[in-house]
Amino acid sequence: MGLGTSDDAAVYRVSGDKAAILTMDFFPPVVDDPYTFGSIAAANALSDVYAMGGRPVAAMNIVCFPTCLSVDVMRDILRGGADKVMEAGAVLAGGHSIEDDEPKYGLSVMGLVHPDRILTNAAARPGDVLILTKPLGTGILNTAIKADMVDDAGYTKAVETMAYLNADACEAALETGVAGCTDITGFGFLGHACEMADGSGVTLEIWPAQLPVIEESIELAKMGIIPAGAYNNQAFVEGRVRFEEGIKQEVIDIMFDPQTSGGLLISVTEDRADALMKLLKDKCKTPFGMIGRVKKRGKFSIEVKDNTPRYT
Amino acid sequence: MTLKNVDARGRACPEPVLLTKRAIDQSPERVQVFVDNTTAMENVKRFAVNLGYKVEITKDGQDFVLKISR
Contacts of A191 (CB under 8 A, 6+ apart): A233, A236, A237, A256
What is the average pLDDT across A295-300?
Answer: 98
Taking the CA of residue A2 and the nearest CA in chain B, the distance in Å comes to 33
State how far the Cα of A177 lies from the Cα of A171, in Å rounded to an integer.
10
pLDDT tens per residue across span B8-49: 999 888 899 999 999 999 988 899 999 999 999 999 999 999
pLDDT at site A6: 56
Contacts of A229 (CB under 8 A, 6+ apart): A139, A186, A188, A257, A258
Give domain limits for chain B. 3-69
- Which position among B7, B11, B13, B69 bears the catalytic label? B13
B64 is catalytic: no
pLDDT at site A312: 35
DSSP state at residue B14 = T
Does 2.30.30.110 match the CATH number of domain B3-69?
no
For residue A242, the tally of other CB atoms under 10 A from its CB is 14
Say whether A223 and B50 touch across the interface (CB within 8 A). yes
Taking the CA of residue A173 and the nearest CA in chain B, the distance in Å comes to 37
Task: Give the rounded percent of residues in chain A with a pLDDT score beyond 70.
Answer: 96
- What is the set of domains in chain A, with CATH numbers? 10-117 (3.30.1330.10), 129-304 (3.90.650.10)
pLDDT at site B2: 72
Contacts of A136 (CB under 8 A, 6+ apart): A184, A189, A211, A212, A213, A214, A217, A254, A255, A257, A259, A262
ipTM: 0.88
pLDDT tens per residue across span A191-239: 999 999 999 999 999 999 999 999 999 999 999 999 999 999 999 999 9
pLDDT at site A7: 65
Type and span of the H or E element at A267: strand A264-268
